[in-house]
Amino acid sequence: MVQARDFRGRATNQSATIDLICCYSVSLHQHSLEDMFLKLNPTTGQPLYLQLMQQVRHATETGALRDGDKLPGIRTLAEELVVSPNTVAKAYSELEHDGLLELRQGSGAFVCVRRRTRSLTDHVQVARRRLRDLIEQLREEGLLDEEIERAFEAELLGPAEIVRKR
């Protein structure tokens, strides 16, 4: 099922072809009955296969996807996202190379969370709790969400990024 979404991620009745920001969204129903939404935005300039890879990585880091969860087949996902099967195949292949997916001929793609990823998942969950507390504190001090978001973006893109790349 392809669903058009606005820039904030809310469902909209507008067709994806006439929407100013063209995003494709797919709801994947996991064995745990959790919903995960994949959104590909062809207007960002970032290759679609990289967007797909980042979203699958994020889902494993946050626990939305767990070890053994089955992802849709290449053709199925490509049809739902309205992209070339080669796009999904490339993302799946790269994720397999990174150790996040196991591709089984005729069976599909399965999440393969290794020990490092599990540790990273724990770290991400702790970081999210800390961020949630900090955001609540900043709101209590009178900052608006937009101001908080700009401050985070400025810090993430600031000089610390140069040090991290070395």
DSSP secondary structure string for all residues of 89-148? HHHHHHHHHTTSEEEETTTEEEE---HHHHHHHHHHHHHHHHHHHHHHHHHHTT--HHHH
Report yes or no: 41 and 51 within 8 Å, Cβ to Cβ.
yes
Write down the pTM of the prediction: 0.54
* Residue 21: half-sphere exposure toward Cβ, Cα within 13 Å: 14
Strand order in the sheet with 101-104: 70-71, 108-111, 101-104
- pLDDT beyond 90 at 114: no
Would you call 88 exposed, middle or buried from its count of C-beta atoms within 10 A (0-12, 13-18, 19+)?
Answer: buried
- Residue ranges of domains in the chain: 47-113, 122-165
The model's pLDDT over 60-105, given as tens digits with 9 standing for 90+, comes to: 888 888 889 999 999 999 999 999 999 999 999 999 988 889 998 8
According to the model, what pLDDT value does residue 84 have? 95
- Residue linked to tokens 């969204």: 25
- pLDDT beyond 50 at 50: yes
Report yes or no: 4 and 12 within 8 Å, Cβ to Cβ.
yes
CATH architecture of 47-113: Orthogonal Bundle (1.10)
